A and B are shown apart, each in its own frame.
Chain A
Amino acid sequence: RKEVEQDPGPFNVPEGATVAFNCTYSNSASQSFFWYRQDCRKEPKLLMSVYSSGNEDGRFTAQLNRASQYISLLIRDSKLSDSATYLCVVRYTNAGKSTFGDGTTLTVKP
C-alpha cells in the first residue's frame, strides 16, 4: 500500500460544477499537508497548505480528518482554468522530506 493515495480520476466536470478530491495517508505521525497544482509538463505549484481541521481560499476548501487519515480538496464553481493535476503532499513529524501522491487529474469542460 502506498503511503499517500489519491483517486487518479480523471474527473471530467462541466464549468460551474463542484468537485471534490480525497487523499488518504497511512502514517499517523503525519504533521503537514499540502495540495499542489500541476499543469501539463510544468512544475507543481502550491495551491494550499492544510492546517488544523481545514482552511478556505476563495473557491477552494481543504479539509483534514486526522482520525480517518484523509485530506480533501473541494473546488466550487469550476473554471476551465482549473483543469490540471492536483497533488496531495504529506510530511511526517520532524522529517526533512515529504511524500507525494500520484495526483488526481481534473478536466473542466465548457
Chain B
Amino acid sequence: DGGITQSPKYLFRKEGQNVTLSCEQNLNHDAMYWYRQDPGQGLRLIYYSQIVNDFQKGDIAEGYSVSREKKESFPLTVTSAQKNPTAFYLCASSIGDRSWTDTQYFGPGTRLTVL
C-alpha cells in the first residue's frame, strides 16, 4: 500500500516542550513538505525539501526545524520558540520534478494541542 503516513494523529504538549512529528512516505517521491493549517484558514508552508540532505524555509519557519536524512522521512520538530503551535499539521510529498504536472499528495495530518 503506497502512501504517506503521519504519526501521531493527536498530540498534546505542555508549554516549553519540544515535540517531533513524524512523516514517512513510500511513494519514492523526492520532494516533501510541511504545512500548518489553523481553523478556517488555508495551508501555510513551514519547510520543504526537494532532495535528501537539503531543505528550505517556507513562509512560517520560525520556531520549527526539520531534517531530511532519508528520502522516505521528513520529521518536523516544533520547538518551544514557536509562539502559537496549536494547529493541524500536514505533510505532503510529490515527485519533485517541477514539471507542471508535479502534484502534492497529503498524509492524514497530526493535530497538535499545547496545554
Interface size on A, residues (CB 8 A): 26
Q: Is the CB of A31 within 8 A of B100?
A: yes
Q: Would you call A87 and B108 a contact (CB within 8 A)?
A: no
A50 to chain B, nearest CB (A): 10
List of B residues within 8 angstroms of A101 by Cβ: 42
Q: Is B25 an interface residue (CB 8 A)?
A: no
Query: Complex: how many Å from CA A45 to CA B44?
Result: 16
Q: Given that A96-B31, A100-B42 are known contacts, is A43 also in contact with B106, CB under 8 Å in the complex?
A: yes
Asked if B14 is at the interface of the complex by the 8 Å CB criterion, the answer is no
Contact with A along B19-33 (1 / 0, CB 8 A): 000000000000101
**Which residues does chain B contribute within 8 Å of A8, judged by CB atoms?**
40
Contact status B108-A42, CB under 8 Å: yes
User: Contacts A43-B90, A43-B109: A100 and B43 contacting too (C-beta < 8 A)?
Assistant: yes
Complex CA distance for A52 and B101, rounded to whole angstroms:
12
Say how far B82's CB is from chain A's closest CB, in angstroms: 20
How many chain B residues touch the partner (CB < 8 A)?
27
**Smallest Cβ distance from A107 to chain B, in angstroms?**
15
Known: A42-B108, A43-B107, A44-B90. A97 touches B102 (CB 8 A): no
Given contacts A43-B90, A43-B109, A44-B90, contact A98 B42 (CB under 8 A): no
A96 nearest CB across to chain B (Å):
5
In the assembled complex, which residues on chain A have CB atoms less than 8 Å from the CB atom of B102?
32, 91
Query: Do A49 and B101 touch across chains, with their CB atoms under 8 A apart?
Result: yes
Asked if A96 meets B100 with Cβ closer than 8 Å, knowing A43-B109, A45-B106, A102-B41, the reply is no
Q: Are B96 and A43 in contact (CB under 8 A)?
A: no
For window 54-113 of B, CB contacts with A under 8 Å fall at: 56, 58, 88, 90, 96, 98, 100-109
The listed residue (B42, B96, B101) touching A103 by CB distance below 8 A is B42
Q: Which B residues are within 8 Å of any A CB, using their own CB?
A: 31, 33, 35, 40-45, 48, 50, 56, 58, 88, 90, 96, 98, 100-109
